[in-house]
Amino acid sequence: MAPKVTAAIQRRIEALEKRRSAADAVFDLSSILFERQLPFGTETARQVTAVCTRRAGKSYACAAKLIDVARKKPGCVALYITLSRINAKRLVWGIVKELAEKHKLGAKVSEAELCLELTNGSRIYLSGAADESEVEKFRGLALGLCIVDEAQSFPAYLAKLVDEVIAPALMDFAGQLFLVGTPGPVPVGYFHDCSVSPTWAHHSWSVVDNPWIAKKSGFTPQALLAQELERRGVTVDDASIQREWFGRWVLDANALVFRFDPERNGRSERRAWQHYVIGVDLGFDDADAIAVLGWRDDSPEIDLVEEWVGAKQSITGLMERVKSAYDRYQPMAVVADTGGLGKKIAEEITQRTQVPIEAAEKERKLEHIELLNDAMRTSRFFAPPDSRFADDCMRVEWDRSNPEKPKISERFHSDIADATLYAWRRALAWTFVEPKVAPPKINTPLWFEHEHHRQMQELEAEMEREFEANRQARAEAAELEGWL
């Protein structure tokens, strides 16, 4: 027999429903997001991509979506992931707190954990995944929503993050997964594939759709675009303009800093290297990275033999990895970024392990990059096509906001590319000289062949000189005839 609902219980139920309706009215996505953002915020599909331009307002849309799902699914976790915790804090944390305070959600804020806990027991977490080892920390969460932002900049481990960790964590609440980002310079990778897959729901909007741009700047996005085209001296068809202003996937190899070509520079087989150099990039906000390069005396070619990238390593952990690589390869040098705190870390490693560490040459970095690019163009530098280095080379872009002084964009930083650059600059494969071939003995068949070839070259050169002289004579005669 069902329990009797008393008048007091009924009044309490009505009060709770009234309070819930009032709360829902306070946080209304239609009054928070602009027209082109709103379909993203109200999307109910479980697999969703959003390909946007810069300044399109995607961070605001992500923050609103996190709060909306956390409110509607009591006890769940709404998770926001980007490349680093610092980026997560910079991009979305302030907006999440602003919206919670503005709409009086009564949330508890933890600055240390970048966590917002709502009154219904749901929590909004912001975090980073700088390398593959950090993927594991998201296991065990019961997710109502996961947003992976800056998805175009994630290396290949994005697939593992989504398929092995996030997807199972969404089962409890039939949660949603959103991959959000801007088009990369090369239309490849997990995010690109998902953004064109018929099994995902897709959203896209651009800076042109953002009404706040005109309100803040006093110029319409169209007027700002016209100014940018004039400043840079390009047309609207320029690949970077198509990406940054219209959110379109356009192949733009010229936007890449490193010119690694998997067909030309990809090589995985082990070779009998004779010499090694180890490059170390010490991460502070970013990850640590180690690159081992190897080469032989009889060839100008050099290979990336081994690589490692790890975030949040202790000095002891990093020291053990450097010592292990040093013992295995016995390199001619270990070079590291010793700027700032890096100098103290390098000295500590040397004192504890007796591994001699040199300061990497960091002056004229852009020149060194061009020299490395030349080695890749001329098929003298090789790396495994599935390496982290090869993957990162497809993501590091030029920032050409000032055409006269291009610099490396801060949108994606590659630790392994820096470690590889340090090692390559110190290696000596470039000193290789082709051995001189002794001339053939006189009156031998080979000598007659070479002599015939030499005489034919001289004859061709003489004929070319006579032709040029006759051409000039005819031109002078024609000019003189014109004067007469």
- Residue 343 vs residues 2, 229, 327, 348, 471: alpha-carbon distances, Å: 74, 44, 22, 9, 66
3-state secondary structure 88-108: HHHHHHHHHHHHHHHCCCCCE
Q: State the chain's mean pLDDT as an integer.
A: 87
How many other C-beta atoms lie within 10 A of the C-beta of residue 483?
5
What does the pLDDT look like over 231-257, one tens digit per residue?
888 899 988 899 889 999 988 888 899
Angle at 400 between CA 51 and CA 386, to 5 degrees: 60
Fold for 262-431, please state it.
Nucleotidyltransferase; domain 5 (3.30.420)
- Reply yes or no on whether the pLDDT at 73 is more than 90: yes
Query: Quick one: residue 294, left, alpha or beta (phi over 0 = left, psi -120 to 50 = alpha)?
Result: beta
* DSSP H helix total and E strand total for the chain: 19, 16
Angle at 157 between CA 155 and CA 158, to 5 degrees: 80
Fold for 15-213, please state it.
Rossmann fold (3.40.50)
Q: Both tokens of residue 350?
A: 């040397």
Residue 209, SS3?
A: helix
**88: buried, middle or exposed (CB in 10 Å: 19+, 13-18, 0-12)?**
buried
In angstroms, how far is the first alpha carbon of the chain from the final one? Answer: 125
pLDDT (average), residues 158-172? 94
What does the pLDDT look like over 390-401, one tens digit per residue?
999 988 988 877
As annotated, the residues of the chain forming the CATH 3.40.50.300 domain(s) are 15-213
The answer to whether 153 touches 128, Cβ cutoff 8 Å, is no
Greater confidence, 194 or 240?
194
**167: buried, middle or exposed (CB in 10 Å: 19+, 13-18, 0-12)?**
middle
Q: Residue 33 has what pLDDT?
A: 94
What does the pLDDT look like over 273-327, one tens digit per residue?
999 999 998 875 568 899 999 999 888 999 999 999 987 677 778 888 889 999 9
Cα(194)–Cα(51) distance, integer angstroms: 11
Q: Both tokens of residue 408?
A: 């490396």
Q: Residue 462 has what pLDDT?
A: 84
The answer to whether 180 touches 147, Cβ cutoff 8 Å, is yes
- Mind giving me the DSSP string for 320-388? HHHHHHHHHH--SEEEE--TTTHHHHHHHHHHHH----EEP--TTHHHHHHHHHHHHHTT-EEB-TTSH
Cα(141)–Cα(148) distance, integer angstroms: 15
pTM above 0.75, yes or no: no
pLDDT (average), residues 453-457? 83
Helix axes 365-377 and 415-426, enclosed angle (nearest 10): 80
Cβ within 8 Å of residue 422, ≥6 positions away: 279, 280, 281, 291, 335, 336, 337, 360, 361
Q: Residue 227 has what pLDDT?
A: 92
- Residue 262 vs residues 265, 275, 280, 387, 390: alpha-carbon distances, Å: 5, 24, 24, 10, 8
- Reply yes or no on whether the pLDDT at 484 is more than 60: no
Cα(284)–Cα(415) distance, integer angstroms: 11
As annotated, the residues of the chain forming the CATH 3.30.420.240 domain(s) are 262-431
How many other C-beta atoms lie within 10 A of the C-beta of residue 118?
20
Q: Residue 23 has what pLDDT?
A: 47
